[in-house]
Structure 1
Amino acid sequence: MNNITPRALSKQISLILGAILSVLFTIIWGLTSAFVWWMPVILFAITFTACYFIFLWAIANFIDRKIKIIYKTIHNLKVGRKKGVIEEIDVDKDILTEVRKDVIEWDLRNRREIERLTDQEKFRREFIGNVSHELKTPLFSIQGYILTLLEGGLEDPKINISYLQKAEKSVDRMIDMVSDLDEIAKLETSQLTMQFSTVDIYKLLDEVIDSLEFKAKEKNIKLIVKVIDEKPLWVKADPVRITQVLTNLIINSIYYGKEGGRTEIRFFDFDENVLIEVADNGDGISEEHLPRLFERFYRVEKSRSRNDGGSGLGLAIVKHIIEAHKQTINVRSSLNKGATFSFTLAKATKK
């Protein structure tokens, strides 16, 4: 589409109207007056020139005023929404082109806003659906245990303590889920601040492994640590949050690893950063699931089911903690070849 300026449009209209009126005036004058052969030519030229410049001035001013009003409105709405002020504009330019650019920009901006709101609405629906689904399982379990106890099971010593313990376990699961939701909400809104300090990551890992040793023995999984060297490895981190990250990743590797398998925690020197990997030799994750693995409540079918009792928020929390450290976390995996989660931390010098 060719751009056309108000002045060019005015010239075209004036040219057409001037020619039409000049021809009509010459014909009417010729029918009512006596003239020699050259007089109509001179009359047409004079009339056409006069009409052309009169129309050109009138039409150009009319079109300019109307288009400038439209452009000022569009421009001021755009600038006012961005900056909260109304700016003056230079109207001595190709206004039609500017109007076209602003309308296209306005359309693109609004399309993006509509897409963003649509995504937010979709996320809200999915989030509410996921929370409801996750809470139903422990709630229905608690309801079933209590009904059984009320219907006579309370007097039966073979089931009363067992059912109360199971109900307590479901309550604990709900509490963990609510706590995780509260934590991830604070992380997303930056209400949960990191308490950075210089930490020996090896020592931190030893504490995590000690706390998870029993879980690993239950599945006969070996926890193997491969360090860079025997010296302390100092990093800048929030020790409480990074303990949470390591615990979550290692627990996942135990849950989803093969019985009798292994979990390896490996360290690599990346100049200013340290790369930490947590790898298992379990069933692995198909490639289609990897992009969504860190989403809240996202679960991979079969190998990562609700039967393991997690809240479905662990990896999302891990991602937010690492990002709060201004670092990155990634996963690589394929079916039947295990999964490897890797994240970075900034190196530090012990004072």
Structure 2
Amino acid sequence: MRVVRNIAVDVTSSVIALLVALMAVAAGLDGGYLGDERLFVSLLVTVPAVVALWFRRRWPVGVALALLAPVAITDLAGGAALVAVFGVAVHRPLRTALWVGLLHLVAGIPFSIRYPDPDLQAVGTNTLALLLLAIVIGWGTAVRARRELIASLRERAARAEDEARQRAEMLRGLERERIAREMHDVLAHRISLISLHAGALEIRDDLSREQVADAGSTIRASAHQAMEELREILGVLRASDRDELRPRQGLADLDELIGEARKAGMTVHLEHHLDGELPAAVDRTAFRLVQEGLTNARKHAPGAAVAVLLEGGDEVRVRVSNPLPARPVAPALPGTRSGLEGLAERVALAGGRFAHGIRGDGTFTLEAWLPWAK
């Protein structure tokens, strides 16, 4: 597209330069000061000047300086000279364009004095030339400034996109580290149970068959739970810092969480339709979803009633919704959307699906579907 545009501009510039030359020929013939010999010489230097315009992007100043000679010889090259000066203003700093424009103005003065226009005379001709040069330099400078602005905006947009991508990667990495720290104690607990019961089976030979069966069942259940926990954090790089590990929380603590929210003045409607034991990873993820939903509602829609729904089927569905305030509310603490980033990462690691946004009824909804193998 850019090549096509450049070709179209070059063709248009050449046509404009030729039209100006034809107008000058017509004026010279009508005024009687353009004979056959001068016409031949003028065309001889004007045609190469028009052809040279096709190289003005690569050598804008060189082409403009090369056109000083045709300008000093004939007024037929005036259109080509204006296009060349315009190219200098577009591709070079304003100071350079002013110097080149001044040289073209001076170069045309001797010709205007020797062959004055019958109507404008030398003073009028040079005044018009000065006006035209000022217009093309101003126009070219404006085009150059616009192009620089667009390039700057594109660079800023690309830089902002890179920064956003890096920030998202950092947030995902931080959430992986937090999940790994949170899971550490659980895995250690499961493995220690397996080791304890396996050791008992190894060193004690006085256990009854029922006791051996119970120990084996405990080992199998602990191994199964440990594999569930390990599957969630597989591939997660654990940080080596010494931050205090967070305590394990799940839906067993949901009533306490809702109670704290209500004590803080929130109106929370809870619909809990989950029956049966959830996998540990799903249990914690569901708890975090409700916790983050209540936090978001408290920050961005204070005083709004929050509806919390937990129901099960083939999947565990968790939904937290609240109506948007009539007017935007500035949160007391600035938000960075890292909570939603972390939830998306948690749900993905648990093998589920996550969605959030504003619905058609004017409510903000946070919703997730988590796998539940009964």
TM-score by length of 2: 0.34
The structure richer in helix per residue is 2
Larger RCO, structure (CA 8 Å, separation 6 or more): 1
Question: Highest CA radius of gyration, 1 or 2?
Answer: 2
